[in-house]
Amino acid sequence: MTTTPVTHLVINPATGTPVTELPLASLADADAAIEAAHAAFPAWRALPPGERAALLRRFAAVVDAHVEELAELEVRNAGHTWGNARWEAGNVRDCLNYYAGAPERLFGRQIPVAGGVDVTFHEPLGVVGVIVPWNFPMPIAGWGFAPALAAGNTVVLKPAELTPLTAIRLGELALEAGLPEHVLTIVAGKGSVVGERFVTHPLVQKVCFTGSTEVGKRIMAGCAEQVKKVTLELGGKSSNIVFADADIDAAAASAPYAVFDNAGQDCCARSRILVERSAYDEFLTKLEPAVRGLRVLDPSDESSEMGPLISAQQKESVTGYLDEVEVAFAGSAPGGDGFWVPPSVVTVDDPATRIWREEVFGPVVAVMPFDDEADAVAKANDTEYGLSGSIFTSDLGRGLRVARAVEAGNLSVNSHSSVRYWTPFGGYKQSGLGRELGPDAPMAFTEEKNVFFAH
């Protein structure tokens, strides 16, 4: 007796039309992938550091040769703009090149002790399970597998059901680059099947999850059963704090890109704007033309600055928030069968308002005035999240004070930049656990071993 494999229809979110249909991995498929990765681990771990580094650089070179192909897949599969998709494919290449330097630099320490010599080693964990969300499929995959592979681990990676195409292709490119089979394995399937198996399978030594806080809590609880290591990058409700002494023109012009990039489907989105009361009216007056001028077009048009939401379900969720409030002003959006919502601005006085407190994950920003520095910090911190944020001011001392006072992992002063692969990334509070990226990321995929040699 044969069973028909479960499949998933991949949809172009800009048009609502099918792209392709893919089989979804079963529990047995997930087990087989994990066991094969476990079997491949000893040889990958034993590879001389310089050889592992050379393979990662070769992988980066192959990705570089396929940036346009990968970007085109993401434009169709995820509705990303061409500019974003090219950057995302390039980010995978750059992360691989950056972490290719790690295998030869996984230094331990010699610690002075009495009676002998004490040294430490950083040793790989084994099989690492990486669970990738649909909003940034390529970069977040690279942030997980590049440092994990560099540290000597093997990786099984589950892309989101909605956006599996670039991850599958990256797995093929890894083999083309010469990585041994089963060192990086892509397992496309349901979170409730494959993702859950990463949590429960005893051969998976660590789980890296990026997604909603709700699911992250369940993964953390599941990993606790085996005292399994876990990194969580979860939700956000970040503030863009604009003081009256800032360059209001520059702050208003840049604000739309801080929240409407990727149609607001970004856990770092500055979806709350706090403006000092004396500059509030001026800021809103200058924000409106910036929002209306945003080019919201089918991503197949290379001039598009914002694409659609990922799915009909996501569109319904976002419009549900907008139905509860009065929209102050909005930009445009295409019609048709795609999952489009125009970039929208609402003004809020009550901090208990749902659209102010919850992660909308769409092209919606709420604006609220504040009275002074202390009020700005209090309002910015009045959230269960703490991932990112921006501070606009001409006073460097104030910028530093507020950055130190805001409870978030990634802050920018007079900028909206949250993510660089050279620097650590992660959240406070319910925005996550642990850090990704930066020079220390490979260490998070190792155990530190201490060895004492008696004289």
Residue of 95, 208, 267, 268 marked catalytic: 267
Q: Do the Cβ atoms of 146 and 422 come closer than 8 Å?
A: no
Measured at the CA of 59, the angle between CA 57 and CA 65, to 5 degrees, comes to: 105
| Active site annotation includes 233 | yes
Rounded Cα gap, residues 132 and 215, in angstroms: 12
The set of residues, in sequence order, having a beta carbon less than 8 Å from that of 1 and lying 6+ positions away, is: none
Measured at the CA of 256, the angle between CA 253 and CA 260, to 5 degrees, comes to: 160
Place of tokens 């001028």: 293
Burial of 323 (0-12, 13-18, 19+ CB in 10 A): exposed
Residue of 72, 196, 233, 276 marked catalytic: 233
Rounded Cα gap, residues 446 and 432, in angstroms: 20
Nearest to 141 by CA among 95, 103, 172: 95
| Residues annotated as part of the active site | 233, 267
